Amino acid sequence: MRLPDRAVVFVGPMAAGKTSLGKRVAKELGVPFVDTDAVFVRQHGQIAEFFTTHGEAEFRRIEAEVIAAELAVPGGRIVALGGGAVLRESTRELLAGHPVVLLMTTQEAVLRTANLARRPLLRDDPEAWGRILAERKPLYDEVADVTYRTDRATKEQLARRVAQWARSFGKKSAPQPGAEAATPPNRSES
């Protein structure tokens, strides 16, 4: 099956599994994986320290630049965005040109599994996850083509399901003579 000829993008709340699942899906598909938070860290240092020194607004501005640069790279690959990346309208506009996978989980699962010390918005208030999700959920829904729950299946099962979806999306979005490329509607899969 054919893969999309551009990045498949993973979005979702903090600690939903975008990086760990993204790496597995990229391996399953035989394409590169990019974590935009990791790119930011390589270029600007630790995110928690950057937040403290420069503030969230400056972080979001530079994060949007990193994302735009990564999405401009041609070819199929998996790109995982930070949880707040969808807050920038410019990023949401860029995502319209890519297949977008929303990964969802629960606050209970996050508090059980996440390293809170590495999550600047949760570090001082672990219960903030639910409030942050409530603010961002409409934006995730706006950009997502499909949604998967990461707390309801193993990473292996999810990687296979998402890889299968990405292959299907690539096939459906391939230009057909005399027809516009079709984008599947946002749907939820477990």
State yes or no: 19 annotated in a binding site: yes
Sheet holding 146-149, edge to edge: 33-35, 77-80, 7-11, 100-104, 146-149, 187-189
State yes or no: 83 annotated in a binding site: yes
State yes or no: 30 annotated in a binding site: no
State yes or no: 53 annotated in a binding site: no
State yes or no: 97 annotated in a binding site: no
State yes or no: 151 annotated in a binding site: no
State yes or no: 5 annotated in a binding site: no
State yes or no: 35 annotated in a binding site: no
**Cβ contacts of 36 within 8 Å, gap of 6 or more:** 63, 66, 67, 70, 79, 80, 81, 82, 85
Given a contact cutoff of 8 angstroms between Cβ atoms, the answer to whether 76 and 5 are in contact is yes
Report phi then psi at 128, rounded to 5. -65, -20
State yes or no: 75 annotated in a binding site: no
State yes or no: 22 annotated in a binding site: no
State yes or no: 15 annotated in a binding site: yes
Residues annotated within a binding site: 15-20, 37, 60, 83, 119, 136
Annotation: binding site for substrate: 37, 60, 83, 136
Q: Which residues are documented as binding site for ATP?
A: 15-20, 119
State the binding site for Mg(2+).
19
